[in-house]
Copies of this chain bind each other. A is one copy, B any other.
Amino acid sequence: MMTRDQILDAAAQIFRQKGYHAASMQDIAAAVNLQKASLYHHVSSKQEILLALLDQALELLFERISEVSNQSLAPDEKLRQMMRAYLKAMTDHFDLATVLLLEHRSLEPKLHARHIPNRDRFEALWRDVINEGLDAGAFQCSDPALTVRGLLGVMNWTITWYRPNGALTIEQIADQFASLFLDGLRRR
Protein backbone atom coordinates (compact mmCIF):
# COMPACT_ATOMS: atom_id res chain seq x y z
CA MET A 1 0.00 0.00 0.00
CA MET A 2 1.13 3.47 -0.82
CA THR A 3 1.24 6.40 1.58
CA ARG A 4 1.02 10.05 0.75
CA ASP A 5 4.57 10.58 1.97
CA GLN A 6 5.96 7.96 -0.38
CA ILE A 7 4.23 9.70 -3.24
CA LEU A 8 5.63 13.06 -2.18
CA ASP A 9 9.13 11.61 -1.94
CA ALA A 10 8.89 10.17 -5.41
CA ALA A 11 7.48 13.43 -6.74
CA ALA A 12 10.36 15.38 -5.21
CA GLN A 13 12.86 13.17 -6.96
CA ILE A 14 11.16 13.51 -10.32
CA PHE A 15 10.62 17.25 -9.98
CA ARG A 16 14.30 17.55 -9.18
CA GLN A 17 15.35 15.51 -12.19
CA LYS A 18 13.02 16.96 -14.81
CA GLY A 19 11.64 20.14 -13.34
CA TYR A 20 8.01 20.63 -12.38
CA HIS A 21 6.51 21.23 -15.81
CA ALA A 22 8.43 18.50 -17.56
CA ALA A 23 7.42 15.97 -14.91
CA SER A 24 4.06 14.30 -15.46
CA MET A 25 1.67 12.65 -13.06
CA GLN A 26 2.30 9.56 -15.15
CA ASP A 27 5.99 9.73 -14.23
CA ILE A 28 5.18 10.00 -10.55
CA ALA A 29 2.67 7.16 -10.70
CA ALA A 30 5.17 4.89 -12.43
CA ALA A 31 7.77 5.65 -9.78
CA VAL A 32 5.48 4.32 -7.04
CA ASN A 33 4.00 1.51 -9.14
CA LEU A 34 0.53 2.93 -9.38
CA GLN A 35 -1.76 4.02 -12.14
CA LYS A 36 -1.95 7.72 -12.59
CA ALA A 37 -5.59 7.88 -11.48
CA SER A 38 -4.70 6.24 -8.19
CA LEU A 39 -2.54 9.17 -7.21
CA TYR A 40 -5.66 11.28 -6.88
CA HIS A 41 -6.78 9.15 -3.95
CA HIS A 42 -3.84 10.58 -2.00
CA VAL A 43 -3.34 14.05 -3.44
CA SER A 44 -5.76 16.47 -4.98
CA SER A 45 -3.62 17.94 -7.75
CA LYS A 46 -0.12 18.35 -9.10
CA GLN A 47 0.04 21.86 -7.69
CA GLU A 48 -0.83 20.54 -4.26
CA ILE A 49 2.13 18.17 -4.44
CA LEU A 50 4.45 21.05 -5.25
CA LEU A 51 3.05 23.18 -2.44
CA ALA A 52 3.40 20.34 0.05
CA LEU A 53 7.02 19.81 -1.00
CA LEU A 54 7.88 23.49 -0.67
CA ASP A 55 6.30 23.73 2.78
CA GLN A 56 8.02 20.56 3.89
CA ALA A 57 11.40 21.73 2.62
CA LEU A 58 11.20 25.15 4.19
CA GLU A 59 10.01 23.78 7.51
CA LEU A 60 12.83 21.27 7.60
CA LEU A 61 15.50 23.82 6.80
CA PHE A 62 14.09 26.38 9.18
CA GLU A 63 14.10 23.85 12.00
CA ARG A 64 17.67 22.76 11.40
CA ILE A 65 19.04 26.27 11.15
CA SER A 66 17.12 27.76 14.06
CA GLU A 67 18.45 24.97 16.27
CA VAL A 68 21.94 26.30 15.64
CA SER A 69 20.95 29.92 15.64
CA ASN A 70 19.42 29.59 19.13
CA GLN A 71 22.69 28.44 20.66
CA SER A 72 24.82 31.08 22.32
CA LEU A 73 27.98 31.13 20.30
CA ALA A 74 30.34 33.81 19.15
CA PRO A 75 28.94 35.30 15.92
CA ASP A 76 31.70 34.01 13.69
CA GLU A 77 31.44 30.50 15.07
CA LYS A 78 27.64 30.61 14.93
CA LEU A 79 27.71 31.67 11.31
CA ARG A 80 30.06 28.83 10.49
CA GLN A 81 27.83 26.31 12.24
CA MET A 82 24.74 27.65 10.52
CA MET A 83 26.39 27.31 7.14
CA ARG A 84 27.38 23.76 8.00
CA ALA A 85 23.87 22.94 9.11
CA TYR A 86 22.29 24.49 6.04
CA LEU A 87 24.50 22.76 3.51
CA LYS A 88 24.23 19.48 5.39
CA ALA A 89 20.45 19.67 5.50
CA MET A 90 20.26 20.56 1.81
CA THR A 91 22.39 17.64 0.74
CA ASP A 92 20.68 15.28 3.19
CA HIS A 93 17.42 16.22 1.48
CA PHE A 94 18.73 16.86 -1.96
CA ASP A 95 15.51 16.35 -3.90
CA LEU A 96 13.48 18.46 -1.53
CA ALA A 97 16.00 21.29 -1.41
CA THR A 98 16.39 21.38 -5.17
CA VAL A 99 12.63 21.63 -5.62
CA LEU A 100 12.49 24.42 -3.05
CA LEU A 101 15.19 26.47 -4.69
CA LEU A 102 14.54 25.87 -8.36
CA GLU A 103 10.86 25.02 -8.72
CA HIS A 104 9.15 27.44 -6.36
CA ARG A 105 8.41 29.73 -9.27
CA SER A 106 6.19 27.03 -10.76
CA LEU A 107 3.67 27.60 -7.98
CA GLU A 108 0.55 29.39 -9.14
CA PRO A 109 0.67 33.05 -8.08
CA LYS A 110 -1.91 32.64 -5.34
CA LEU A 111 -0.09 29.79 -3.62
CA HIS A 112 3.24 31.46 -4.26
CA ALA A 113 2.20 34.57 -2.37
CA ARG A 114 1.27 32.42 0.59
CA HIS A 115 4.75 30.90 0.47
CA ILE A 116 6.76 34.12 0.62
CA PRO A 117 6.32 34.97 4.34
CA ASN A 118 7.92 31.64 5.26
CA ARG A 119 10.89 32.55 3.11
CA ASP A 120 11.24 35.83 4.92
CA ARG A 121 11.21 34.15 8.34
CA PHE A 122 13.99 31.96 7.10
CA GLU A 123 16.10 34.80 5.76
CA ALA A 124 15.65 36.62 9.07
CA LEU A 125 17.66 33.90 10.82
CA TRP A 126 20.66 34.88 8.74
CA ARG A 127 20.11 38.60 9.05
CA ASP A 128 20.04 38.17 12.83
CA VAL A 129 23.40 36.48 13.07
CA ILE A 130 24.98 39.14 10.89
CA ASN A 131 23.50 41.86 13.07
CA GLU A 132 24.69 40.10 16.20
CA GLY A 133 28.18 40.17 14.80
CA LEU A 134 27.92 43.82 13.89
CA ASP A 135 26.58 44.78 17.33
CA ALA A 136 29.35 42.83 19.02
CA GLY A 137 31.92 44.60 16.85
CA ALA A 138 33.06 41.26 15.46
CA PHE A 139 31.80 41.83 11.91
CA GLN A 140 32.14 44.65 9.46
CA CYS A 141 29.87 45.16 6.49
CA SER A 142 27.98 48.08 5.06
CA ASP A 143 24.78 46.31 4.03
CA PRO A 144 23.71 43.31 6.10
CA ALA A 145 20.78 42.47 3.82
CA LEU A 146 23.07 42.27 0.81
CA THR A 147 25.55 40.21 2.77
CA VAL A 148 22.80 37.72 3.58
CA ARG A 149 21.92 37.48 -0.09
CA GLY A 150 25.53 36.80 -0.93
CA LEU A 151 25.75 34.17 1.75
CA LEU A 152 22.59 32.41 0.63
CA GLY A 153 23.71 32.73 -2.98
CA VAL A 154 26.90 30.80 -2.43
CA MET A 155 25.11 28.07 -0.52
CA ASN A 156 22.01 27.81 -2.68
CA TRP A 157 24.06 27.63 -5.84
CA THR A 158 25.97 24.72 -4.34
CA ILE A 159 23.13 22.32 -5.03
CA THR A 160 23.44 23.04 -8.74
CA TRP A 161 26.88 21.43 -8.90
CA TYR A 162 27.32 19.36 -5.73
CA ARG A 163 27.44 15.58 -6.20
CA PRO A 164 27.70 13.31 -3.14
CA ASN A 165 30.61 11.30 -4.50
CA GLY A 166 32.79 14.34 -5.11
CA ALA A 167 36.24 14.85 -3.66
CA LEU A 168 35.08 17.04 -0.79
CA THR A 169 32.52 16.24 1.89
CA ILE A 170 29.77 18.76 2.40
CA GLU A 171 31.29 19.65 5.77
CA GLN A 172 34.58 20.50 4.12
CA ILE A 173 32.80 22.61 1.55
CA ALA A 174 30.86 24.41 4.27
CA ASP A 175 34.03 25.13 6.24
CA GLN A 176 35.84 26.52 3.24
CA PHE A 177 32.94 28.73 2.32
CA ALA A 178 32.71 29.92 5.91
CA SER A 179 36.40 30.76 5.98
CA LEU A 180 36.13 32.54 2.68
CA PHE A 181 33.25 34.65 3.94
CA LEU A 182 34.82 35.40 7.27
CA ASP A 183 38.38 36.16 6.23
CA GLY A 184 38.22 36.93 2.53
CA LEU A 185 40.51 36.12 -0.29
CA ARG A 186 43.05 38.88 0.15
CA ARG A 187 46.20 37.98 1.99
CA ARG A 188 47.58 40.32 4.57
Contact = CB atoms under 8 A, between A and B. Distances in A.
A137 interface: yes
Interface string A136-178: 0111111100110110111111100100000010000100110
A59 B179 CA distance: 33
Interface of A: 19, 21-22, 76, 79, 102, 105-106, 130, 133, 137-143, 146-147, 149-150, 152-158, 161, 168, 173, 176-177, 180-187
B180 A183 contact: no
Contacts of A180: 141, 147, 150, 181, 184
Given A147-B176, A150-B176, 11 more contacts: A76-B186, A130-B185, A133-B185, A138-B187, A140-B185, A140-B186, A143-B176, A147-B180, A153-B155, A157-B157, A181-B185
A182 B176 contact: no
Given A143-B176, A180-B141, A186-B138, A106 B161 contact: no
15 contacts: A19-B21, A19-B106, A22-B106, A76-B185, A79-B185, A139-B186, A140-B185, A140-B187, A141-B185, A142-B176, A143-B168, A153-B157, A180-B184, A182-B185, A182-B186
B187 A184 contact: no
Contacts of A184: 180-185
A20 B110 CA distance: 21
Contacts of A143: 168, 176
Nearest to A142: B176
Contact of A146 (B138, B142, B168, B187): B168
Nearest to A153: B157
A120 to B, nearest CB: 12
Contacts of A156: 153, 157
A152 B157 contact: yes
